[in-house]
């Protein structure tokens, strides 16, 4: 009887370990896939500061990965191995991903953690719903957001009873630059 219980416990432990390993492998692969996607940037000017591992883009900046980021200025910081670590956008920031649009004065994208932190009048819209606060952190892979008020500030959410989402946009019909030139 003891042998049967032991084997059952061992089997359960093995299954849990395999499931846990598979989950960790999927999460690692997901983060690794994001790090391997190219970041494409267009702008009016570009300045590379090699000794600081920094590239600065200015004027009508459009950056794409699996989302589109538009701004007046963009700083890309990269590691010693030349992988993009962080993207910081400032001035008239707009981010488009699927049916979500985010706006703010500043956005910082932590590429390893796949999160974007919006500050300076941040707002996120999805269909007819809107959230506002002093700081909004968007977790790209989890499709979640945390909205914070600053120094006693309040957050605001407007959730409409009827979701009026536009039809899924055609990726090739609308250029990324055209999306960036639209109203904020």
Q: Are residues 81 and 162 in the same domain?
A: yes
DSSP bridge pairs for 88: 75, 108
Q: Are residues 76 and 167 in the same domain?
A: yes
- Residue 113 belongs to a domain with what CATH number? 2.60.450.10
**Using one digit for the tens of pLDDT, what is the confidence trace for 48-92?**
999 999 999 999 999 999 999 999 999 999 999 989 999 999 999
pLDDT of 25: 39
Number of domains in the chain: 2
Q: Are residues 15 and 90 in the same domain?
A: no
- Residues 5 and 15: their CA atoms lie apart, in Å, by 15
Q: Are residues 44 and 1 in the same domain?
A: no
Neighbours of 116 (CB within 10 A): 27
pTM of the predicted structure, to 2 decimals = 0.75
| Greatest mean pLDDT range, 16-30, 122-136, 153-167 | 122-136
Q: Are residues 90 and 140 in the same domain?
A: yes
Q: Are residues 152 and 175 in the same domain?
A: yes
pLDDT of 143: 82
Q: Residue 19 sits in which domain range? A: 1-36
pLDDT of 168: 54
Q: Are residues 25 and 106 in the same domain?
A: no
């Amino acid at each position: 009887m003891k042998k049967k219980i032991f084997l059952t416990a061992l089997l359960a432990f093995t299954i849990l370990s395999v499931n846990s390993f598979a989950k960790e492998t999927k999460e690692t692969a997901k983060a690794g896939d994001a790090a391997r996607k190219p970041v494409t940037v267009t702008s009016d000017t570009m300045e590379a500061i090699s000794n600081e591992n920094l590239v600065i883009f200015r004027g009508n900046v459009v950056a794409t990965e699996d989302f589109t980021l538009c701004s007046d200025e963009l700083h890309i910081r990269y590691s010693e191995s030349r992988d993009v670590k962080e993207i910081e956008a400032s001035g008239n920031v707009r981010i488009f991903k699927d049916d979500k649009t985010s706006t703010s004065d500043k956005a910082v994208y932590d590429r390893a953690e796949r999160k974007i932190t919006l500050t300076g009048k941040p707002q996120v819209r999805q269909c007819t719903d809107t959230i506002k606060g002093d700081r909004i952190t968007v977790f790209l892979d989890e499709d979640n957001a945390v909205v914070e008020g600053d120094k006693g500030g309040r957050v605001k959410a407007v959730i409409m009873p009827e979701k009026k989402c536009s039809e899924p946009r055609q990726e090739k019909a609308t250029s990324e630059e055209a999306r960036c030139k639209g109203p904020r």
